């Protein structure tokens, strides 16, 4: 289902053309392997140079933010401020910005540790809800037998295009007026995020689950297994790579969301996620601008950790979902 990269050695060899293709007549080209090797080396050297340049350009913005977050206030704003790259010549280093944004007391404080905990408390239930509900639905779309299944599935796929903005006002009045979900609790955020995460979740998992060989399921049925047993004992364990990838997607998506939070959280330190707080403190220009880089870094540290730690699953599931269509 996923493409495993060839071991390094084999890959290098095939790249320089020393490994003849299986069952193919040897052509005259092969008699000049040295020329070709030189040429390949050269092109690959240019390619590597170009790649390093792109990688540098892509990394410098984030790196600049990281460096800035360790610079004292006077170096970042005001008359004596200068660019973050000067850090490497004057070595003025401080942790104070991080202490200020996470631990400082008082109403002026960014108070990010509170908001960080809120983000965790929002993201974990949503991820569980979406994984379970989407895999149940995906199982039916893949293996259930009912009229209109195809049409229903394509409809779910098409739901992904409904812009969130389109859904917000009616949903907010539904939550507060009809369902009476108390504002200023996590419940509104959990439900809204789950609703918005389901179409993509079902689509991704369906692509994976429908690839599970029918014989496996038939065999289980012959052995007397019911739908629930098949689902929990066979489908879910076999879908772990796709589930892991969806979990990461969902985590990143909810953690990084701003719009849903703006509408449903009420903005208090009891509920609001860290992105909302970050938008607040960075939106007001003033003497505390020097805290923005540290605050931004606190907010992106969790997604970066998840991303680097679980990158393998992320990529694997992305491919299984996206490419198998």
Partner 1 sequence: MEFLGGKFLQVFIALAVFAALIGLIMLIVDRAPKSVKDKVTIVGFLAPAAILMLVGLVYPAVQTSFLAFTNASGQPNGLDNFVWMFTQPEALVTLRNTVIWTILVPLLSTGFGLAYAVFIDKARGERALKALVFMPMAISFVGAGIIWKLVYDYRGPSIEQTGVINAVRVALGMDPKQFLLDAPENTIFLIIVMVWIQTGFAMVILSAAIKGVPMELVEAARLDGANPWQQFRNVTIPGIRGALVVVLTTITIATLKVFDIVRTMTAGNYETSVVANEMYTQAFRAGEPGRGAALALVLFLLVLPIVVYNARVLRQQREIR
Among positions 59-98, residues that touch partner 1 (CB under 8 A) are 59-62, 64-65, 68, 76, 79, 81-85
- Under rule CB under 8 A, which residues in 124-153 are in contact with partner 1? 124-125, 128-129, 132-134, 136-137, 139-140, 144-146, 150
Tokens 């955020």, located at residue:
189
* Of 91-99, 215-223, 237-245, 317-325: span binding partner 1 (CB under 8 A): 317-325
Helix, coil or strand: residue 325: coil
Q: Positive or negative CA dihedral for 283, 286, 288, 292?
A: positive
> Are 191 and 122 spatial neighbours (Cβ–Cβ below 8 Å)?
no
Measured from the CB atom, is 96 or 319 closer to partner 1? 319
Q: How far is CA 297 from the centre of its chain?
A: 17
- Under rule CB under 8 A, which residues in 12-41 are in contact with partner 1? 12, 14-15, 17, 20-22, 24, 27, 29-30, 40
CB proximity list for 69: less than 8 A, separation 6 or greater = 97, 98, 293, 294, 296, 297
* Of 45-53, 92-100, 217-225, 237-245: span binding partner 1 (CB under 8 A): 45-53
Long-range contacts of 167-174 (CB under 8 A, 24+ apart): 167/195, 167/196, 168/259, 168/260, 168/263, 171/195, 172/263, 172/264
- Under rule CB under 8 A, which residues in 105-124 are in contact with partner 1? 113-114, 117-118, 120-121, 124
Q: Does 168 bind partner 1 (CB under 8 A)?
A: yes
Residues 214-233: x/- map of binding to partner 1 (CB under 8 A)? ------------xxx--xx-
* Of 94-102, 217-225, 238-246, 257-265: span binding partner 1 (CB under 8 A): 257-265
Choice from 169, 216, 219, 240 touching partner 1 (CB under 8 A): 169
Instruction: Give the DSSP letter of residue 85.
Output: G
> Are 96 and 321 spatial neighbours (Cβ–Cβ below 8 Å)?
no
> Are 260 and 192 spatial neighbours (Cβ–Cβ below 8 Å)?
yes
The token duo for 136 is: 């149940």
Q: Does 176 bind partner 1 (CB under 8 A)?
A: no
Q: Does 156 bind partner 1 (CB under 8 A)?
A: yes
């Amino acid at each position: 289902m996923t493409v495993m990269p060839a071991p390094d050695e084999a890959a290098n060899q095939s790249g320089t053309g020393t490994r003849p293709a299986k069952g193919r007549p040897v052509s005259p080209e092969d008699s000049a392997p040295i020329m070709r090797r030189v040429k390949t080396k050269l092109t690959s050297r240019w390619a590597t140079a170009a790649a390093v340049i792109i990688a540098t350009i892509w990394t410098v913005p984030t790196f600049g933010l990281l460096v800035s977050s360790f610079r004292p206030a006077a170096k970042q704003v005001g008359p004596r401020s200068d660019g973050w790259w000067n850090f490497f010549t004057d070595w003025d280093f401080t942790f104070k910005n991080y202490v200020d944004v996470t631990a400082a007391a008082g109403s002026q404080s960014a108070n990010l540790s509170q908001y960080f905990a809120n983000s965790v408390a929002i993201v974990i239930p949503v991820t569980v809800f979406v994984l379970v509900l989407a895999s149940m639905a995906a199982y039916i779309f893949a293996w259930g037998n009912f009229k209109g299944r195809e049409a229903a599935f394509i409809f779910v796929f098409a739901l992904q295009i409904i812009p969130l903005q389109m859904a917000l006002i009616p949903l907010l009045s539904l939550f507060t007026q009809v369902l009476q979900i108390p504002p200023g609790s996590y419940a509104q955020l959990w439900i809204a995020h789950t609703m918005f995460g389901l179409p993509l979740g079902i689509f991704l998992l369906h692509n994976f689950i429908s690839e599970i060989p029918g014989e496996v399921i038939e065999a289980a049925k012959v052995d007397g297994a019911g739908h629930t047993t098949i689902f929990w004992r066979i489908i879910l364990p076999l879908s772990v790579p796709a589930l892991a990838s969806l979990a990461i997607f969902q985590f990143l998506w909810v953690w990084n969301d701003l719009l849903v939070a703006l509408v449903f959280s009420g903005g208090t330190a009891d509920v609001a996620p860290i992105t909302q707080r970050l938008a607040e403190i960075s939106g007001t220009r003033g003497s505390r601008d020097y805290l923005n880089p540290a605050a931004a870094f606190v907010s992106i540290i969790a997604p970066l950790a998840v991303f680097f730690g679980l990158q393998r699953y992320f990529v694997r599931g992305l491919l299984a979902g996206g490419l198998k269509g």
